[in-house]
Each structure stands twice: as C-alpha cells, then as structure tokens.
C-alpha cells in the first residue's frame, strides 16, 4: 500500500523553482538526453518529475533561468512536441526527447549512440573524449567545432548503424553553439570549461563557479549566427588547405611551406 502510493506522491511533491533550489531526480522522475533541460528540471524551473511539460512552462523556464527569448523557447518547444508519440498531445516528457532519430541523434557529446546503449544516461567515457577537445580553461567555438566533428568521426568508426539526419545534424550544431554562447558568453563567444563540465556531470547550474543568468537576452537570430560560425570552423577542419590559404593571406604561414 505504502509502496504503491510513492509514484503519486512523487508527482505532487512540490519542488520550489529557482537558482537556489536543486534536487536530483527521484526514482519516479524522468530525465532525458539534454543536459540543460535536465538541469532546469533539477532546479524546479521545469516540473521535477520531468513529465507533461507544456509550452508556457517551457518558455518561462528558459526565460527565467537563461534569459532566452520566449519566442525562441516556443520554437524549441514545437520541436520537443515532435518527440511525443501520442497524437494531439500538448505536452512532452523529458524521456520523449530520447526517441531515437526524431531529435535525438548519434555522436552525442555525453551520451552513447542508441546502437551501443542508453541515449538518455550520462556516459563518462564519451564525455572524456569530448573533454579532450576542450584544450584550455576557456572553451571557444573552435574547440566546440573540434569536439563535435571528432565525436562524429568516432561514432562513424565504431557504430555499424551510425546515422545522422539533416535535422539531427542541425541539432548537433545548435547544441554545440548553445553550451558556448547561451550558457556562456555570446559577446566573447567563450565559456569557462569548468562551468560546462559541472553542467554536464552534475546537471546543476554552476553558480558557485561564477555562473549567472546571462544579462543580455538570447534572441532568435543568435543561435543561427553561432551555428554558422561552428559550420565555418568545421569546413576548415574538413579542408585544412582552405585554412592554410587564409592564414598565408594573413601572413601567418610562410608560403614556402608549399600550401
Ligand atoms: C541535447 C532538446 C534546450 C543544450 C539535446 C537533445 C535533445 C535536446 C533532444 C539530445 C540530442 C542528442 O545528443 O542526441 C532540447 C529542447 C530544448 C533544449 C527540446 C528546449 C525546449 C537546450 C538549451 C541548451 C541545450 C537551452 C543550452 C545550453 C544541449 C546540449 C546538448 C543537448 C549541449 C548535447 C548533449 C550531448 O551531446 O550529450 N537537447 N534542448 N539544450 N542540448 Fe538541449
Ligand atoms: Mg544522442
């Protein structure tokens, strides 16, 4: 009797929302493949059970915690809704986001490919690989481009069922831009590495390390602009000759290097 009441109690146990409130998921709470949505849920900006999240709640959570413009929050909510398999639903749950090849994709920065294991749970080994491309105390968009690119190469080499849709590919750029310029600083286009590691590993906002809600609103065009920058860096990784030509024009690579 007591045991059967637990899920119901977990669903109604209030968790206050806010920067100073944090609780890990309980046994009846769900979480998903997005480290940021999990984090906002642990802080109570989203319902702590991770279930039945509606548009207004999503927009408010992203605005209150991250200063993300509500129209952009609504745009992301519409994507989230495509992962709920129930027809005419008006909410999604965090675990819906893990439905493979809807939004969730292979080559994640901190989760296994569906072929290898759970796409929802944090994966230490994969995150260690990602971290190896963040080669300084401050992560730049170039380092984010490297991490994204080489995680894809690793997945392609190790996953016989590797796949990446056009939408999945766009999401990989968006996610990589988001942890640098939305979670970090969109002026300098950088983010302290210890903030990002804390976010992924603890799913908690790293206020004790100096993180604060961004003072400047993150608006619709921002995401596209920074995704474009990561795409440019990716082209340079794929075609280093291009970069060498550019550097030679800037006079940094002597032309007798033969590029
Ligand atoms: C990953 C959805 C908001 C950062 C993901 C994934 C989904 C998702 C489905 C899994 C992709 C995969 O790795 O397979 C959403 C939705 C959002 C949202 C629907 C809003 C309603 C945000 C925000 C940030 C963010 C505001 C800001 C930092 C990330 C990052 C990943 C990710 C960095 C990559 C995790 C990894 O590769 O291991 N998100 N997300 N997301 N999301 Fe979100
Ligand atoms: Mg994934």
- Protein residue with its CA nearest to atom 2 in ligand 1: 34
Nearest ligand 1 atom to the CA of 126 is: 38
Query: Residues with beta carbon inside 6 Å of ligand 1?
Result: 33-37, 58, 62, 66, 76-77, 79-80, 97, 103-105, 108-111, 171, 175, 178-179, 182-183
- Residues at Cβ < 5 Å from ligand 2 ion: 104, 108, 111, 119
DSSP the chain: -HHHHHHHHHHH-----STT------TT----S-HHHHHHHHTTSS-TT---B-HHHHHHHHHHHH-B-HHHHHHHHHHHHTT--STT-S-B-GGGGGSBTTTB-SS-SSS--TTTS-SSS--HHHHHHHHTT--SSEEEHHHHHHHHHHHHHHHHHH-TT----HHHHHHHHHHHHIIIIITTBTTTTEEEHHHHHHHHHH-S--GGGT----SSPB-HHHHHHHHHHHHHHHHHHH-HHHHHHHHHHTT-S-GGG--
Give the pLDDT of residue 2. Answer: 45
Ligand nearest to the CA of 131: 1
Q: Are 161 and 115 in contact (CB under 8 A)?
A: yes
- Give yes or no for a contact between 181 and 189, defined as CB atoms under 8 angstroms apart: yes
Q: What pLDDT sits at residue 14?
A: 56
Divide the 259 residues of the chain into consecutive groups of 10 and give the mean pLDDT of each group. 48 71 97 98 98 98 98 98 97 98 98 98 98 98 98 98 98 98 97 98 98 96 96 95 58 32
pLDDT tens digits along 1-56: 344 554 554 455 556 789 999 999 999 999 999 999 999 999 999 999 999 999 99
Residues 6+ apart with CB under 8 A from 4: none
CA 231 to ligand 2 center in whole angstroms: 19
Enter the ipTM: 0.99
Q: What is the pTM of this model?
A: 0.91
CA distance 251 to 248: 5
Q: Which of 109, 107, 148 is nearest to 127 (CA)?
A: 109
Question: Which residue's alpha carbon is nearest to atom 22 within ligand 1?
Answer: 36
- Ligand 1 closest atom vs CA 127: 38
In this prediction, residue 110 carries a pLDDT of 98
Q: Which atom of ligand 1 is nearest to the CA of 105?
A: 14
């Amino acid at each position: 009797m007591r045991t059967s009441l637990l899920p119901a109690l977990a669903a109604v146990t209030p968790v206050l929302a806010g920067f100073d409130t944090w609780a890990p998921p309980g046994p009846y709470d769900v979480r998903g493949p997005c480290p940021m949505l999990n984090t906002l849920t642990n802080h109570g900006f989203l319902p702590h059970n991770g279930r039945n999240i509606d548009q207004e709640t999503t927009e408010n959570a992203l605005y209150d915690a991250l200063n993300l413009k509500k129209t952009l929050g609504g745009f992301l909510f519409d994507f989230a809704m495509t992962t709920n398999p129930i027809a005419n639903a008006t909410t999604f749950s965090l675990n819906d986001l893990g439905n493979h090849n809807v939004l969730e994709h292979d080559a994640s920065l901190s989760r296994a490919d569906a072929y290898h294991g759970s796409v929802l749970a944090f994966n230490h080994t994969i995150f260690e690989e990602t971290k190896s491309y963040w080669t300084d105390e401050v992560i730049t968009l170039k380092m984010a481009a490297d991490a994204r690119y080489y995680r894809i190469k690793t997945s392609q080499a190790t996953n016989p069922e590797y796949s990446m849709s056009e939408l999945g590919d766009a999401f990989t750029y968006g996610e990589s831009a988001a942890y640098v310029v939305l979670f970090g600083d969109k002026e300098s286009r950088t983010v302290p590495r210890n903030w990002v590691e804390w976010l992924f590993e603890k799913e908690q906002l790293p206020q004790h390390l100096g993180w604060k809600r961004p003072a400047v609103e993150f608006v619709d065009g921002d995401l596209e602009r920074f995704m474009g920058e990561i795409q440019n860096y990716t082209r340079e990784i794929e075609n280093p000759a291009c970069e060498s030509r550019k550097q030679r024009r800037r006079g940094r690579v002597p032309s007798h290097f033969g590029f």
